[in-house]
């Protein structure tokens, strides 16, 4: 349940391009992420179309629901930009010409050596009593206004202008007016273990009740998030994370929020390759270049892509009828003698009905580490998992050798 001492926030996006799906709403994620960092409880994201009646009633709902509303869009000069008018109607506040806003707009057009079009004048009208947010990056001034109880922050929908206003004005105002209580987020990035398997392991631990746990299932990586109260010392958090890491064994490849930060599996491999000063050659089959694409040009020497295993491994080369981890290791060792890299990774696969089994081997100094994995679903999905499995094997090899 939301902690009642924390300010509540609604992220409010406007505009037909968002509601119709023509644009993905990246503003909402940006604003929410900032609010989370401040320790606020985000209770809703709401998007409405450019319909005045709808906008008025949604603003009234938000006013009753939250302490803070961060609103983007609808401040432009055209007839479908109705945000300011909607606020005026929702809370019965008259609009008044803001001279500074008008002058800034005229200056903006002046710099472009263009007369300000008449339609833009409406952008200089703000609700009585509003605090203007200067727009140094475009035409539409933003503003801060209170409804009955909620503090509304209005910003343009253009991400660049919105982000600049957040950084220049809004974040400071939020810190000044609201109780900022920083919870502490630690993210464990995992690979090779399903969401439910993780959940089962976690259930067996005694994680303190005030630590909130959430998951984020991705393909092929899963994230486990631990949100600690601000009162937790780093040492206590570390002990808790250690406990979790212990039961998830080798599947955790990165821990964010306790000092380090690693974005994904490829970044993790990149760091290890650099630390150990290794270089790599690759033979890819099923993933068709998707492993190579994720390697860094500093240490990937070369890669051979053969979509069909038979093109790298003629049937006559196979003493047994089928491919297996041993065959992958043998090929990796053979390739490695011709390579000028310190490591060689080989990926082979076999078709079994609709599914595939991928066999991966990493070799360096004659030591070989291998893995096999059954892949289901669409080809594209199989390829993503096949390349992630290869990178993960490389990561484990680097940790062990």
Q: Which residues of 376-396 are buried (b: 16+ CB within 10 A; e: fewer)?
A: eeeeeebbbbbbbbbbbbbbb
The alpha carbon torsion through 351, 354, 355, 361 (nearest 10 deg) reads: 20
CB of 312 to a second copy, least distance (A): 8
Cβ distance to a second copy smaller for residue 31 or 241? 31
Query: Rounded to 5 degrees, what are φ and ψ at 45?
Result: -110, 135
Question: How far apart, in whole angstroms, are the C-alpha atoms of residue 162 and residue 32?
Answer: 13
Buried b (16+ CB within 10 A) or exposed e, 302-337: ebebbeebeebbeeeeeeeeebbbebbbbbbbebbe
Q: What is the DSSP string of 213-277?
A: EEEEE-SSEEEEEEEE-TT--HHHHHHHHHHHHHHHGGGEEEEESSS----SHHHHHHHHHHHTT
Minimum CB separation of residue 126 from a second copy in Å reads: 18
DSSP three-state, residue 101: helix
- Which one, 93 or 345, has the nearer CB to a second copy? 345
Q: Smallest distance from the beta carbon of 252 to a second copy, in angstroms?
A: 17
Nearer Cβ to a second copy, position 177 or 308?
308
Cα 288 to Cα 98: distance, rounded to the nearest angstrom: 60
Give min distance, CB of 22 to a second copy, in A.
6
In 3-state terms, what secondary structure has residue 386?
helix
Which positions ≥6 away from 53 have C-beta within 8 Å? none
Is the four-CA dihedral 64, 68, 70, 75 of positive or negative sign?
Answer: positive
Of 83, 116, 86, give the one whose Cα is nearest residue 101: 116
Which single residue is written with the structure tokens 């005694």? 206
Our CB check for a second copy shows the closer of 146 and 305 to be 305
Determine the Cα–Cα distance for residues 303 and 324; give it in Å rounded to an integer.
21
Q: How far is the CB of 235 from a second copy (least distance, A)?
A: 26
Least distance from a second copy to the Cβ atom of residue 129, Å: 27
Q: How far is the CB of 315 from a second copy (least distance, A)?
A: 17
- Return the C-alpha torsion angle 218, 206, 209, 41, nearest 10: -20
> Min. distance of Cβ 157 from a second copy in angstroms?
8
Closer residue to a second copy in complex, CB, 117/208:
117
Helix axes 265-275, 379-400, angle to 10 degrees: 30
State which residue, 93 or 140, has the beta carbon closest to a second copy. Answer: 140
Cβ proximity to a second copy: between 16 and 173 the closer is: 16
Nearest CA among 34, 29, 27, 35 for reference residue 7: 35
- The H-or-E segment that residue 98 falls in is none
Name which of 42 and 240 has its Cβ closer to a second copy. Answer: 42
Complex with a second copy: residue 129 or 218, whichever CB lies closer: 218
Residue 228 β-bridge partners: 184
For a second copy, the closer CB: 145 or 183:
183
Q: How far is the CB of 63 from a second copy (least distance, A)?
A: 16
């Amino acid at each position: 349940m939301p902690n009642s001492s924390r300010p509540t926030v609604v992220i409010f996006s406007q505009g037909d391009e968002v509601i119709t799906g023509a644009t993905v709403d990246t503003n909402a994620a940006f604003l929410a992420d900032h609010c989370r960092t401040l320790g606020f409880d985000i209770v809703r994201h709401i998007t409405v179309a450019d319909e005045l009646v709808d906008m008025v009633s949604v603003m009234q709902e938000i006013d009753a629901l939250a302490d803070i509303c961060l609103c983007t869009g609808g401040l432009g000069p055209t007839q479908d930009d109705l945000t300011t008018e909607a606020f005026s109607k929702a809370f019965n506040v008259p609009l008044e010409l803001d001279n500074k806003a008008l002058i800034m707009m005229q200056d903006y057009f002046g710099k472009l050596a263009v007369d300000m079009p008449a339609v833009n004048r409406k952008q200089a009208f703000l609700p009585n009593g509003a605090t203007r947010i200067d727009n140094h990056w475009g035409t539409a001034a933003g503003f801060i206004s209170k409804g009955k109880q909620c503090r509304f922050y209005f910003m343009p929908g253009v991400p660049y202008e919105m982000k600049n206003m957040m950084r220049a004005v809004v974040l400071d105002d939020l810190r000044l007016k609201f109780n900022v209580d920083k919870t502490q987020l630690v993210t464990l990035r995992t690979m090779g273990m399903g969401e439910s398997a993780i959940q089962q392991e976690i259930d067996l631990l005694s994680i303190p009740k005030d630590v909130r746990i959430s998951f984020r299932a991705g393909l092929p990586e899963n994230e486990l998030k631990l949100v600690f109260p601000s009162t937790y010392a780093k040492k206590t958090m570390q002990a808790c994370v250690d406990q979790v890491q212990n039961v998830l064994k080798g599947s955790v490849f990165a821990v964010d929020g306790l000092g380090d930060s690693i974005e994904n599996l490829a970044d993790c491999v990149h760091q290890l390759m650099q630390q150990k000063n290794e270089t790599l050659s690759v033979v890819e089959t099923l993933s068709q270049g998707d492993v190579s694409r994720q390697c860094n040009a500093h240490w990937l020497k070369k890669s051979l892509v053969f979509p069909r295993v038979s093109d790298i491994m003629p049937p006559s080369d196979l003493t047994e009828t089928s491919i297996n981890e041993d065959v992958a290791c043998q090929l990796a060792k053979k390739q490695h003698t011709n390579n000028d890299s310190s490591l060689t990774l080989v990926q082979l696969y076999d078709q079994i009905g609709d599914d595939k089994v991928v066999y991966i081997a990493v070799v360096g100094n004659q030591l070989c580490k291998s893995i096999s994995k059954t892949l289901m679903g669409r080809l594209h999905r199989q390829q993503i998992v096949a390349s992630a499995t290869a990178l993960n094997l490389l990561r484990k090899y680097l940790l062990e050798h």
